[in-house]
Amino acid sequence: MFRIILIFLFVIFVNMSEGVFAFDIVYPKKDNVTINADKTFFIGNEQICKSLKINGQPVILHQSGGFKHTVHLDYGVNSFVIDNGADKKVYKIVRPAKSVKTAKERKFIHYGSEKIIKTSSQNVPLRSSPVDAGLNRLQHLQKDIELVAIGEYGDFYKVRLGRDDTAWISKSNTQISDSKEFVLGVIKSTSSYEDDDFRYYKFTVDKKVPYVLSESGLNGYNLVLYNMSDELYNFGKYEFNISQKGKNFGYSAYYNDENELIVKIRKYKSSLKGLKIVIDPGHGGSERGAIGCLCDAEKDVNLAIALKLRNKLQKLGAEVLLTRADDKYLGLQERVNFTNENNAQMFVSIHNNALADSQADKEAKGTEVYYFYSQSRYLAKVISKMLSSEIGFNNRGAKGGSFAVIRNSECPAVLIEVGFMIDPDENSKLINSDFQEKIADGIIKGIEKYFKEVDMEIILGK
Ligand SMILES: [Zn+2]
């Protein structure tokens, strides 16, 4: 018996010497990092002593042991002593000195003689402002579409559309055209046809002109062809309205090999039963995503939720496809291609949230759902509402966001940030299997509400 106790004590001693008193710092990832912000946070867990101080300030510990503690950063080297009474670590964080901006001042240059340019790659964004960020994309254009540049600002050409409209296009996505003279377009014929999933509108134009296809209200679309003959079309624009039965449910426009512009409108599918839905667990493989207080990786939490969501949706009669069903790396374009090649009718990406250092003092709690096209706004709104109420998280609501996975899908597409991995309380719930079942239930309630409610509610903005 005595020998057993001795062995037991020895085992305890060995464990203690391996750092029983230590705490985990999940973020910053290591000592001696450079953070270019006036604040950051320490995220991690303390399991043993249940008391922790950073530079003498008590750290609030969640019952799971997780913590998130915001600290201010001065320029230069900042030292932080992390102390749980038994073990101590010193972290150094460097905040670089204020950089002196040497960027040359940019101004708009108006060309004396206009340049004929053309798109030099596929999927070139035509933008409403000369900025490569945000929600300023008007349309993605294919290769070899001619445009007239009337000036430049930084890395962008300002292009003329029709007689009075203008837009911006990145110089790096274009080249100077061989054409000596800019020729305006004329429509030769139009036609329409349909199959089970789509209605198609075909416009035979004598050259590839720029166009913008957008949603007009909630049940329809507006196509504008630009740089058309101003003798035949007012202001050099040809406009075409398309009505939709039911909610707007996905659209695209492209030139086919015969240079005909095809507008493809997905028919509205009014129920979950038989719906072909792609569930996309964010990140995977080498890309871990956010790291939670207790060291869990976002990629694993996303996948666990996605698998539970798949099982429940299948039981309700939906046809579910997963972009990944295991822990592997997948690029953003691969996820988009998978969705469009499988002709999915809905796309739902599952993520969990974190904050940037510069936002370390902001509240990091709650559910938010992102959309890019207005057709997806209502879906985002009801998922955020139903999911947050199902799991008891704050509803941060639907937000517009220019994320690659939701702006290139030909169907309603949303990206869900269920909760914050860096919040100790939300994190402890997000990694819980029973809680993940509730998350899946909440998402489904949102999708069901989307199908159930009439469009009137969207108009009233309820
Ligand atoms: Zn993520």
Residue of 258, 265, 259, 209 lying closest to 241 (CA atoms): 265
**Total number of domains constituting the chain:** 4
Output the domain CATH number for residue 143.
2.30.30.40
Same structural domain, 194 and 255:
yes
User: Taking the CB of residue 348, how many other CB atoms lie within 10 A of it?
Assistant: 25
The 8-class DSSP code of residue 245 comes to S
Same structural domain, 321 and 433:
yes
- CA–centroid distance, residue 284 to ligand 1 (Å): 10
Output the domain CATH number for residue 43.
2.60.40.10
Active site residue 114: no
283: its two tokens: 């990140």
**Can you tell me the distance from the alpha carbon of 159 to that of 211, in angstroms, rounded to the nearest whole number?**
13
pLDDT of res. 49: 83
Same structural domain, 246 and 113:
no
For residue 357, is it within any domain? yes
Domain boundary among 95, 122, 153: 95
The 8-class DSSP code of residue 127 comes to E
Same structural domain, 38 and 117:
no
CB 93 within 8 A of CB 357: no
For residue 104, is it within any domain? no
- CA–centroid distance, residue 294 to ligand 1 (Å): 17
- CA–centroid distance, residue 333 to ligand 1 (Å): 16
For residue 9, is it within any domain? no
pTM of the model: 0.90
82: helix, coil or strand?
strand
Selecting among 146, 152, 298, 417, the annotated active-site residue is 417
**Can you tell me the distance from the alpha carbon of 300 to that of 459, in angstroms, rounded to the nearest whole number?**
38
pLDDT of res. 13: 43
Q: Is 425 left (phi over 0), alpha (psi -120 to 50) or beta?
A: alpha
Same structural domain, 322 and 194:
no
**Mean pLDDT for each 10-residue chunk of the chain (462 residues)?**
49 46 89 94 90 95 95 96 92 88 79 96 96 92 97 97 95 96 96 96 96 89 96 95 92 93 95 96 97 96 98 98 98 96 97 95 95 95 98 98 92 98 97 98 97 62 43
User: Taking the CB of residue 436, how many other CB atoms lie within 10 A of it?
Assistant: 21
Domain boundary among 149, 176, 203: 176
**Can you tell me the distance from the alpha carbon of 354 to that of 289, in angstroms, rounded to the nearest whole number?**
9
- CA–centroid distance, residue 304 to ligand 1 (Å): 14
**Can you tell me the distance from the alpha carbon of 321 to that of 309, in angstroms, rounded to the nearest whole number?**
11
For residue 382, is it within any domain? yes
- CA–centroid distance, residue 352 to ligand 1 (Å): 5
Same structural domain, 386 and 307:
yes
pLDDT of res. 368: 98
First-residue to last-residue Cα distance in the chain: 71
For residue 8, is it within any domain? no
Which structural domain range is residue 135 located in?
A: 109-176
